[in-house]
Structure 1
Amino acid sequence: MGSLVRQQAAGAGAQVALLGVLALTVGLGAAGWAAGLAFTVGLWALLAGAARKAGARSLGPADHVTLTRAILIGGVTALVADHLNGGTPLAVLVPLASVALALDAVDGQVARRTGTSSALGARFDMESDAFLILVLSVLAAGKFGYWVLAIGLMRYAFVAASWALPWLNGALPPSRARKVVAALQGVLLVAAGSSLLPHFAGLAAAVVALATLVWSFGRDILWLHRAHRAELAAASAPRVVHQTCVVKPRPYHRRARHLATRNP
């Protein structure tokens, strides 16, 4: 695990360096520093635990891309926290969040081309996506109301529901629509929360983000429920045991043999 520890230490150093650059350029305040450092500690702990569970000794090429994206997400988190506390403007947040969203399409390609796909990488990528959407929904909620938080909290609510309903952990079939909806969330929330659009257009973007996410989750939940019911029906169906009947030939006398040979 030595290599992984060094990689994590390098990532933590890069995160602190990014926070320092933001402090020097846009004047990151105490709230931003607190949020950024808390993100760094949380990322270290979660990544170490996931790597230990997966038995990984180091990060692969695609994981380094995801780690870079996570560092940018830490910067976005610091900027959002500072902005909501009356601090830094959002001019730097848009390019930072845009690069983080763009890199989401890169780590998967790197994993496929280098043949280094792993459960750790997939989990790291998914958790980074989910947290970025949560942070961006917090930003948009500051403008349009707390209902926008449903966008960022929906995935975590789904995970919590799966503890009580294990069938929600079932495997889902691949879906291009699910990927498109997931990618749209970040774009729409950045546009809605960063004042790039007029108020009504930003509100519409947030509504579209929530509506498409509800549709996507609802469709997947319905599919998983139907699959679960089908499994229960198959398990409760009576089993039919087919028995093979073996008929032993009876001895026959000469007349019977003579009659049988006359039949064509």
Structure 2
Amino acid sequence: MRRLFTARPVHALPNRIYTVVELLVGSVLLLTLGSVFPQLIPQSAHWGLAYTAYALIGLFVLICWSQGSLGWANRITLLRAVLVALVAGALAYDSFAQVIWLWLGVATVALLLDGVDGWVARRTRSFSSFGARFDMELDALLILLLCIGLIRLESLGLWVLLIGVMRYLFVAAGWYFSWLSQPLHASFRRKLVCVWQVSALLLALTPLTHPFLASLLALSALASLAYSFGMDSWWLYKQSRR
């Protein structure tokens, strides 16, 4: 988890002003990339979906971050958010299917940047619980979007959505079972499963992948995710009984 990034105030403005400015820069970047790749965002409905996704991410940042400027690690995560918003926007009217390689390329860059922001956080000593949560929520959203794309492209069935909604179900269960909402220890297994989920879904979505193999890849992502959440749930349960 990232250590708290302490921003030195430059002016007597509220800390959130800096955050709002950086979010606005991200929105301009989204507009720029959408204009550079009009195949992904060809119509107003696509723009609306992309900016709705970005607005929800921005709202999360404003609610959870109050330390002023985001810092370089979180700025890279914000760049990931812009790319995830592009992935979301292209899902309108199934436009992504017409430019599947470009769409997968954007999603792959968003996945690769997941390792970059962590490296920058370590180099700049800017770790924070917010940064870890920001990463996690973007991963969850990207996985959900890829699941929706896979259902539309390969018609595998709604069971694929279990991959995308399992984290949200886990969070919802924590509202009822308080022990499920307790902090988890850092886990390489959790990170590995997350990377495999996205990788398996990306591979399943490529036009070169046979539908049967795509279903196997999706099934492997679901099985590994269920195992990971099962291990975490069991650990949290044991901790609650002590």
Structure 1 length normalisation: TM-score? 0.80
139-148 or 97-106, which moves further after superposition? 139-148
Cα gap change, 1:212 to 1:10, in 2 (>3 Å): same
Residue 27 of structure 2 corresponds to residue 17 of structure 1:
no
Per the TM alignment, residue 224 of structure 1 is displaced from its structure 2 partner at its CA by 0.9
Aligned amino acid, residue 46 of structure 2? G
State the distance in 2 between where 1:212 and 1:127 align: 19
Residue 240 of structure 2 corresponds to residue 228 of structure 1:
yes
Residue 169 of structure 2 corresponds to residue 157 of structure 1:
yes
State the distance in 2 between where 1:49 and 1:74 align: 19
Per the TM alignment, residue 223 of structure 1 is displaced from its structure 2 partner at its CA by 1.2
Residue 7 of structure 2 corresponds to residue 7 of structure 1:
no
Residue in 1 aligned with 2:11?
none
State the distance in 2 between where 1:19 and 1:88 align: 16
CA contact (8 A) 1:172 1:224 kept: yes
Q: Residues 158-206 of structure 1, C-alpha deviation per residue, up to 9 Å, x if partnerless?
A: 0000000110122323322211101111111111134331111111100
**Which residues of 2 match residues 1-264 of structure 1 at below 5 A?**
1=15, 2-23=17-38, 25=39, 28-51=42-65, 55-83=66-94, 88-142=98-152, 143=154, 144-230=156-242
Q: Aligned-residue CA RMSD in angstroms? A: 1.7
- Give 5+ residue unaligned stretches, structure 2: 1-14
Q: Residues 43-88 of structure 1, C-alpha deviation per residue, up to 9 Å, x if partnerless?
A: 222211112xxx31110110011011111111111122342x6874
Per the TM alignment, residue 27 of structure 1 is displaced from its structure 2 partner at its CA by 6.2
Cα gap change, 1:86 to 1:116, in 2 (>3 Å): closer
State the distance in 1 between where 2:118 and 2:137 align: 14
Q: State percent identity of aligned pairs.
A: 37
SS of residue in 2 equivalent to 1:102: helix
Cα gap change, 1:33 to 1:220, in 2 (>3 Å): same
Number of aligned residues: 225
159-168 or 187-196, which moves further after superposition? 187-196
SS of residue in 2 equivalent to 1:91: helix
Per the TM alignment, residue 113 of structure 1 is displaced from its structure 2 partner at its CA by 1.0
State the distance in 2 between where 1:94 and 1:87 align: 10
Q: Residues 91-126 of structure 1, C-alpha deviation per residue, up to 9 Å, x if partnerless?
A: 211111111100101111110110011122122111
State the distance in 1 between where 2:27 and 2:201 align: 27
State the distance in 2 between where 1:13 and 1:196 align: 34
- Give 5+ residue unaligned stretches, structure 1: 231-264
Q: Residues 117-175 of structure 1, C-alpha deviation per residue, up to 9 Å, x if partnerless?
A: 11221221111111111111111122211100000100000000000011012232332
Per the TM alignment, residue 89 of structure 1 is displaced from its structure 2 partner at its CA by 3.0
Aligned amino acid, residue 172 of structure 2? A
CA contact (8 A) 1:79 1:88 kept: no
CA contact (8 A) 2:40 2:96 kept: no
State the distance in 1 between where 2:150 and 2:36 align: 25
State the distance in 2 between where 1:95 and 1:87 align: 13
CA contact (8 A) 2:203 2:214 kept: yes
